[in-house]
Structure 1
Amino acid sequence: MSDAKKNSRSLVGIAGIVAAATLLSKLFGLFRQQAIAAAFGVGVVADAYNYAYVIPSFFFVLLGGINGPFHSAIVSVVSKRKREEIAPLIETISTLVGGVLILATALLILFADPLIDLVAPGLGQTATGLETKAIAVQQLRIMAPMALFAGLIGIGFGVLNADDQYWLPSISPLLSSVTVLVGLGGLLLFVGQDLISPEYSLLGGQILAWGTLAGAILQWLVQVPAQWRSGLGRLRLRFDFNRSGVKETVRLMGPATLSSGMTQINVYTDLFFASFIPQAAAALGYANLLVQTPVGIISNMILVPFLPVFSRLAAPEHWEELKLRIRQGLVMTAITMLPLGAIIIALALPIVRVVYERYAFDQEASQIVTSVLIAYSIGMFVYLARDVLVRVFYALGDADTPFRISVINIFLNALLDYLLIRPFGAAGLVLATVGVNIISTVWLLTVLNRKLHGLPLQEWGLPIGGLGLGSVVTGLASWGTLFALQRGLGTEGFFVQLLQLVVAGTVGLLVFALIAMQMQLPEVDQLVTRLRQRFGRSA
């Protein structure tokens, strides 16, 4: 694509588009999870859905997600090619990937029962577990075609982003949430107040699965016209597998997919151990969404605009600027993730109660989810920092290094799961993942330091360390404010809890803003200036 097209938007402009679209998608995702929690709590339907969804999610996150390996590989290859070369390339890749994933879909349907046994062996030990398994098997068979649509969505997202189109890929995930909400709404109208009754468990599980599949299909359908209008490929079978760019894309996709797949295997490992703890899978799902909602918004703001930039700076003569961009990515991650994690830790219980506690989701469920949410919040910074570094390796054409690290991390994660689940329960599974992410981040930095002939790690570490200390103060300020408000207003009542969250969270953010401004980091100054400019233009 032409340089003029590539440079037509600033990183800030792209980040603004991505943030707005992703915010809408994440909000609808939160509404969906609230509806599931209200309808099913942490009971068998919610548990079954988390076990059944782990394999379709494996494909969807792995292949169809923004910042996933398909997206990253397509952006890296397409950004370097002339426009007239793109459509035949994408049609060939889609044909190749589609054929493989149709086979994968058939295997998921055929082997759904043993796959659930593999994911959650603990379900066969109790009557409740057997009921959960039966629902999960049916849900998996319904959602199996998501494997095919995940690959097509990931390819389309990469092409559209490389063409400087960011709104549609970022907003389309909300369709999955809308279809689930519509399905649950229809179920409520059909069964009325008996929604949570045991006799409707199987029907409720089916509605969740069909709604999830319908959302995936819609995500693919909405991007097809955009690709056609831009001349970036049509629904056409093309078997020119020797075409220029196909081998390069596959070479990047292969190790990158396997590397990202290792991360999803860690999710499977966590659920393997969680199957022996009643309600653990549902708790992991609810807490994960509360963290992934802000992380998803911020990660798309950081990773989506930076990935094409990393790719264009991959040549050795541009490495000094590449190092500057890596610093920007890491410091921006610290500015956003560290204080946010501290505030969530301080306000975890009221956050869970305000978001989820209604109908089938009671105070006991809130306590279960809160401990898991705290564990997730501890690792927010390293989760995103690792992803920033992985994208640098992809841009440099090295997907092998993240893959090798991920393979080793599978065994490390399983070991930490085994050691930490006993003292910490479900939260220990999350802490194991946090430990693995810390090791991965340090390892990737070490290799990248050697690959780029030296990184100013001490120079980067000082501001990140300062932001970390500032975040500790931020968390204490939020907790102290919450404690004072609870002494005066009590802890019960939705609006009381919401008021306490807003006030305590605002105090924490103001404290961090003051600390960050005193540090005089260029990234903070740039962020504040550009936000003022953006809000000024909007006004």
Structure 2
Amino acid sequence: MTFIRRLLARFVPQGALLLSVLTFAAYGAGLLRDRIFARTFGAGVELDAYNAAFVLPELTLDVLVASGLAAPFVPVFLQLRKDDERSAVEFGQTILTLVVLVMAVAAAVLFVFAPQTAGLIAPGFDAGQRELYVSLFRVMLATPIIFAASIALGEILVAERRFLFYGLAPLLYNAGIIVGTVALSESAGIFGAAIGAVIGALLHLAIRLVGIARSDFRVRPRLAVRTAAVREFLRLMLPKMASHPIEPLTFLFFTSLASTLGAGAVTAVSFARNFQSVPVSLIGISFSVAAFPSLAAAYVAGDRRRFTSVLGTNLVTITLLTTGAAIGLYIVGGLAVELFLGGGAFDAEDVAQTSLVLAAFALSVPFESLFHLLSRAMYATRNTLLQVAASVTGFAVTVLAGQALAPQIGITAIPLCFALGTMVKVVLLGIALLPRVRQISPQVPPESLAPGR
């Protein structure tokens, strides 16, 4: 029994397991939220306006903050903390202040031009729907500012391995939306859901503030931007931001390709991808996030043995678990599609087509999960450019393979070319990572970023 416990502790770290459980709970809360939306508002004008009002605030947050923050923050923060604890705290305070200011300015601009965004986001809305969209849009502009602060604090929690407070945040966000909808929809209609989104964002931030309060970091406004640490952060962040459109462009290509393959193809691909992303999130992303601070700390310390041990253990664990998940998805995916989606207008033919796409999508689960791990391993070595190069190459392979295969084999070309492109990314990233791992040595430590060192 002791041997089994030790084996589980090595291959299923507590942090990864905790994140997986909390991610699963957040998925459950999201499903409950959607069911409440469906029962309360139906598929009508109000919910259309609500969903449309989310698009631009989320996109702005993603492009300006979320896409670039995750890769460089933890390695730079841990390097500073090794050299000088105070410099690490000041760096964290500066990044926190910067991202909040950037999002506040962006939100203010969007607030002023909210009516103009309606034509861009929802050109088919009539005058009444546009008016509702603008009102909801302006309410929701509070959320990206709150999320910017929460995301920055979340990176500090990841660096300090405080995964409970990091992982609870998405669950509480959905809980806030549910509470707002249930408590306020009768009196405020769809604005109850919008207010719930703001409440959820505040809860998202609050639980991370609780975690931060238990650390040595103190939340203070600071703008010490002329430092080596901030320059290094920007050097690592900019390539990651530039590569951010690759994933949306991939699925835009899939939508475009599916639209040529008959009625229902676009929906089948969308639904199948939603199912496929569950094991990737529960296993690939959760284990990769949990491993990231250990990889970054090992690189900072020049401890190649520790780096390869953490990376190797997670490679084995993720490969085994996601291969099992892929096989399970292939076997029972059709049953899941029928159970969750079947009935009403979604007839047997729709179920069959979606199940076929999902079975092919299962092939990509291990590759996509490993890509998340290898990406974070590369980030830990303070390099984002090689990950971007692998992503661009994988995207090109996906597009070329999709265009070549779709006329021959139909809709299954989409998930198969996604698996092929993702496999190419994994192989390229693995090849690029090898020489960087070999260079890790206590005799050649990473360059100090602390002032005066």
Q: TM-score, normalization: structure 2?
A: 0.75
- State how far apart, in whole Å, the 2-side matches of 1:215 and 1:404 are: 36
Find the aligned partners of 1:441 and 1:316 in 2 and give their Cα distance: 26
1:237 counterpart = 2:221 = yes
Counterparts of 2:267 and 2:299, CA distance in 1: 42
Among candidates 178, 182, 191, match of residue 181 of structure 1: 178
Aligned to 2:420: 435
CA gap of 1:159–1:451, structure 2 versus 1, over 3 A, is: closer
Letter in 1 for 2:421: V
The yes-or-no answer on 1:304 pairing with 2:289 is: yes
Cα 1:393–1:376, aligned 2, differ >3 Å: closer, same or farther?
same
Q: Distance in 2 between matches of 1:372 and 1:51?
A: 27
The Cα shift of 1:387 comes to 1.1
Consecutive unaligned residues in structure 1, runs of 5 or more? 1-8, 192-202, 455-539
Residues 370-409 of structure 1: pairs in structure 2 closer than 5 A: 370-409=355-394
How far does residue 90 in structure 1 lie from its aligned partner after superposition? Answer: 1.7
Whether the 8 Å contact between 1:259 and 1:402 is mirrored in structure 2 is: no
Deviation, structure 1 residue 423: 7.1
Q: Is the 8 A contact 2:402 2:413 kept in 1?
A: yes
Report the Cα distance in structure 1 between the residues aligned to 2:196 and 2:33, rounded to whole angstroms. Answer: 11
The answer to whether the 8 Å contact 2:393/2:425 transfers is: no
Distance in 1 separating the partners of 2:43 and 2:397: 29
Contact 2:162 2:211 in 1 (8 A): no
Selected match of 1:218 from 203, 217, 221: 203
Query: How far is the alpha carbon of 1:269 from its aligned partner?
Result: 4.7
Following TM superposition, by how much is the alpha carbon of 1:207 offset from its aligned partner in structure 2, in angstroms?
A: 6.0
Partner amino acid, structure 2, of 1:97: V
Residues 246, 391 of structure 2: 8 Å contact kept: yes
- The aligned residue for residue 16 of structure 1 is 17
Summarize the Cα distance change of 1:112–1:323 in structure 2 as closer, same or farther, 3 Å threshold.
Answer: farther
Distance in 2, matches of 1:175 and 1:446, equals 40
Q: Provide the rounded CA distance (Å) in 1 between the counterparts of 2:401 and 2:53.
A: 24
Given that 1:26 and 1:297 are in contact with CA atoms closer than 8 Å, whether structure 2 keeps it comes out as no
The aligned residue for residue 516 of structure 1 is none
Residue 279 of structure 1 and its aligned partner are, at CA, apart by 6.8
Q: Please say if residues 28 and 174 of structure 1, whose CA atoms lie closer than 8 Å, have aligned partners that are also in contact.
A: yes
The number of residue pairs the alignment matches comes to 426
Measured against aligned partners, the alpha-carbon deviations of 1:460-500 in whole angstroms (never above 9, x if no partner) come to xxxxxxxxxxxxxxxxxxxxxxxxxxxxxxxxxxxxxxxxx
Query: How many angstroms apart in 2 are the aligned matches of 1:180 and 1:328?
Result: 38
Residue identity opposite 1:78 in structure 2? F
Q: How does 1:190-209 map to 2 (within 5 A)?
A: none
Answer whether contact 1:88 1:233 (CA < 8 A) is retained. no
Once residues 135 and 417 of structure 2 are traced to their aligned partners in structure 1, the CA distance between those partners, rounded to angstroms, is 30
Counterpart CA distance in 1 for 2:16 and 2:222 is 35
Contact kept in structure 2, 1:63 and 1:151, CA below 8 Å: no
Name the residue aligned to 2:236.
252
- 8 Å Cα contact 2:273-2:361 kept in structure 1: yes
Give the deviation of 1:338 after TM superposition. Answer: 1.3
Residue 74 of structure 1: how far off its partner (Å): 2.3
Given that residues 397 and 421 in structure 2 are in contact (C-alpha distance below 8 angstroms), is that contact kept between their aligned partners in structure 1? Answer: yes
Paired with 1:278 and 1:181, the residues of 2 have a C-alpha distance of 34
- CA distance in 2 between partners of 1:271 and 1:212 (Å): 28
Separation in structure 1 between the aligned mates of residue 438 and residue 160 of structure 2, nearest angstrom: 32
Q: Percent identity?
A: 22
SS of 1:148's partner is: helix
Amino acid corresponding to residue 335 of structure 1 in structure 2: L
User: Per-residue deviation at 1:20?
Assistant: 3.1
3-state DSSP of counterpart to 2:13: helix
Quick one: which amino acid aligns to residue 253 of structure 1?
M
CA deviation vs aligned residue, 1:402-437 (integer Å, no higher than 9, x gap): 123334555555555666666777765554433321
Kept after mapping to 2: 8 A contact 1:98/1:152: yes
